[in-house]
Amino acid sequence: MGLVSFSNHKKALALAAALAAGALLLGGCGGKKSGSAQAAAGGKKDSLAVGMFNAPDSFNPLFNPGIAGQFTIRFMYDTLLGMPEINNFTPHLAKSFETTDNQNYTIKLDEKAKWTDGKPITADDVIFTLNMIANPKVQTTKGTYINMLDGTSTVGKVAEGQTIPNLVKVDDHTITFKTKAPMDQNMVKSMLGFEVYIVPKHIFEKLDPATIANSEAATKPTVTSGAYKFKEYKTGDHVELEANDQYFRGSPKIRKVFLRIMNGTSLVTELKSGNVHMAASGGIGAVPVKDLDILKQDSKLSVKAVPSLNTQYLEVNNQVPEFNVKFRRAVTMAIDREKLCKDLYKGTAHVVPTIYTKVSKVYDESVKPLPYDPEAAKKELAESGFDTSKEIVLQVPLGNIQREQSADIIQQNLQAIGLKIKLQKYDFPTVLSNCKKGDYQMLLLGYALTPDPDYRDYFVPGGGSNFAHTDDPKLTEMMTQAASVPTFEERKKLYKDIQIYMRDNQFVTSLYENDMFIVQDKTLKGGIKDFWEGSLDDLQNWHFE
């Protein structure tokens, strides 16, 4: 998500809001189903209905800040590599992705891969995609996924009019590239190989780079590469996808997919009725904890809980001078995070000191969270110099019931140390738009983190997911160094120091990491994996027994 400045986001954010305006309010009740959604419920052998409570913010493969948008796009666009398990990579568009020195790489594409209009997917498409991401005129959320490439900036950009050096077409199906230094190859494969969707050059080269987000190619894609093709988006109700019979990894066995938008309570009802066959999980389609036992008793459903990279945060706008480090520490120590885990998640959520969760391979147990300590919080609040007579608005996205309920507890905790907190609830696209623009004081948000621990996208100026608007030179330097060393063992040592520094400065308040609940029809073979981001790796093989 490597945009150069937040001031340039307005057009793309307006599009994101337009795509999903009023999504949860208009379509979240689940009581009425459109004709398409009813068809999905009726023909289970041929159609799959997936329930999620966040509307997709974008269908643009270059700009997709929201998790629901990323999930939807992965049905339609392929990446160079798949990753069904953390650091276990599978061939997708690339049949090989190799290096002998961890700096110079060779990619060989699968010659059978085609776009949905029948044209072959070639090295030209890959090189074009990477240069589009690096183009300073292009609004993108992929910059920090390619910023390891030689010649790019920290946010994955090159100078206007330039292209990425050492990115070479060897032949129609072979590409070579060079990283800035020898790097952990799992990081390169995870970021560039798995997180970057390849776009069709012959479609996107006709577009003005500055206005791609407003084009039909981004809002109603017709030429894609994945297992499914876009058919329709009914705002706030559902996305309809149809099988791509020319998909080079095999024609999908399920002919239609409906991604239905609804709140958590309706999701439970629809799962039990059979109108929805699978919860999207991953922070965008989780069933409420209080309903788990009800679902477990349903003989038609499979239900399990697994640890995850899913996390919930209280974002404090770091660009507001009054919200200094003392203020942010006071906020964190005022919140009874253990109570949130106990009362709302019944033991299926856990307090973590920073953005790094226990699933992360760099998580360090010796780094302890700031404690719940209202008296210490009052002291730090006084030292911050904040005027407690001022009201602070806490924005809360609708749809995730546990998150909505947590807002009430957080409000009470913060008021107990002398802050005046007003809750303001919005649909998710509105909150996402506000946080990108910096149009907020505090807000609640969830992240689905990448398995690689390079989270500069969330904390470096210009990072597309830097929702807290963090601009801390020391943190930027620490994260850049940790991403640049060649072995994972070296990186892990540096990430311990990062976790200590983040814990002490509280750029965001990590509320808790929560287990992921996988709920789906027992007859569905396929579906959500323990590593959520890799769930769609074998999408073409999903079927009902």
Residue at which a domain ends, from 173, 204, 235: 204
Greater confidence (402 vs 150) lies with: 150
Residues 355 and 369 in one domain: yes
Residues 270 and 369 in one domain: no
- Asked if the structure places residue 213 within a domain, the reply is no
d(C-alpha 335, C-alpha 417), whole Å: 10
Examine the pLDDT at 131 and tell me if it is beyond 80.
Answer: yes
Answer yes or no: pTM beyond 0.85: no
- Asked if the structure places residue 525 within a domain, the reply is yes
Which among 317, 366, 338, 264 is positioned nearest to 511, based on CA atoms? 338
Residue 133: which H helix or E strand, with range? helix 123-134
Per-residue model confidence as pLDDT tens digits over 259-303: 999 988 899 999 999 999 999 998 889 888 889 999 999 999 999
Q: What is the mean pLDDT of the chain?
A: 90
Per-residue model confidence as pLDDT tens digits over 18-27: 443 333 333 3
- Residues spanned by the domain of 446: 310-514
CATH code, domain with 117: 3.90.76.10
pLDDT value at position 524?
97
Residues 259 and 301 in one domain: yes
Residue 136 token pair: 């300073």
pLDDT value at position 23?
35
Which among 294, 293, 262, 296 is positioned nearest to 279, based on CA atoms? 262
Residues 53 and 137 in one domain: no
How confident is residue 538, by pLDDT bands cut at 50, 70 and 90?
Answer: very high
Phi–psi pair at 264, nearest 5 degrees: -60, -40
pLDDT value at position 13?
39
Strands (E), 53-203: 81-85, 88-91, 94-99, 104-109, 168-171, 174-178
Examine the pLDDT at 14 and tell me if it is beyond 70.
Answer: no
Residue 224, SS3 per DSSP: coil
- Asked if the structure places residue 279 within a domain, the reply is yes
Greater confidence (178 vs 307) lies with: 178
**Residue carrying the six token digits 């309920």:** 405
Q: Are 315 and 435 in contact (CB under 8 A)?
A: yes
Type of residue at 429: P
Please state, as a whole number, how many other Cβ atoms lie within 10 Å of the Cβ of residue 361: 15
pLDDT value at position 44?
62
- Helix 325-334 to helix 488-505 angle (10° resolution) is 90
Q: What burial class does residue 81 get, using C-beta atoms within 10 Å of its C-beta: 0-12 exposed, 13-18 middle, 19+ buried?
A: buried
d(C-alpha 54, C-alpha 66), whole Å: 9
Residues 190 and 241 in one domain: no
Over residues 116-139, mean pLDDT: 97
Per-residue model confidence as pLDDT tens digits over 86-107: 999 999 999 999 999 999 999 9
Examine the pLDDT at 45 and tell me if it is beyond 90.
Answer: no
Residues 485 and 522 in one domain: no
Q: Are 467 and 461 in contact (CB under 8 A)?
A: no
Residues 497 and 404 in one domain: yes
- Asked if the structure places residue 349 within a domain, the reply is yes
Strand partners, 118: none
Q: Which of 35-39, 187-191, 277-281, 421-425 has the least mean pLDDT?
A: 35-39
**Residue carrying the six token digits 């799962």:** 271
User: Mean pLDDT highest for which of 62-71, 72-81, 479-488?
Assistant: 72-81
Residues 333 and 362 in one domain: yes
- Helix 10-19 to helix 428-437 angle (10° resolution) is 170
Which among 292, 260, 343 is positioned nearest to 517, based on CA atoms? 292
Handedness of CA 119, 124, 126, 129 (dihedral sign): negative
Strands 508-514 and 349-350: antiparallel
Over residues 487-500, mean pLDDT: 94
Alpha helices in 310-455 (DSSP H): 325-334, 337-345, 374-384, 401-416, 428-437
- Asked if the structure places residue 17 within a domain, the reply is no
Residue 305: which H helix or E strand, with range? strand 301-306
Residues 500 and 369 in one domain: yes
- Asked if the structure places residue 523 within a domain, the reply is yes
pLDDT value at position 2?
33
Domain count for the chain, please give it: 3
Q: Are 309 and 324 in contact (CB under 8 A)?
A: no
Greater confidence (207 vs 487) lies with: 207
Measure the CA angle with vertex 360, ends 354 and 363; round to 5°.
Answer: 55
Residues 98 and 200 in one domain: yes
CATH code, domain with 498: 3.10.105.10
Greater confidence (410 vs 464) lies with: 410
Strand partners, 420: 391
pLDDT value at position 38?
43
Residues 98 and 70 in one domain: no
Greater confidence (116 vs 21) lies with: 116
CATH code, domain with 65: 3.40.190.10
- Asked if the structure places residue 19 within a domain, the reply is no
- Asked if the structure places residue 136 within a domain, the reply is yes
**Residue carrying the six token digits 């609640």:** 444
pLDDT value at position 66?
83
Residues 138 and 185 in one domain: yes
Cα distances (Å, whole numbers) of residue 265 to 180, 256, 453, 499: 49, 25, 34, 36
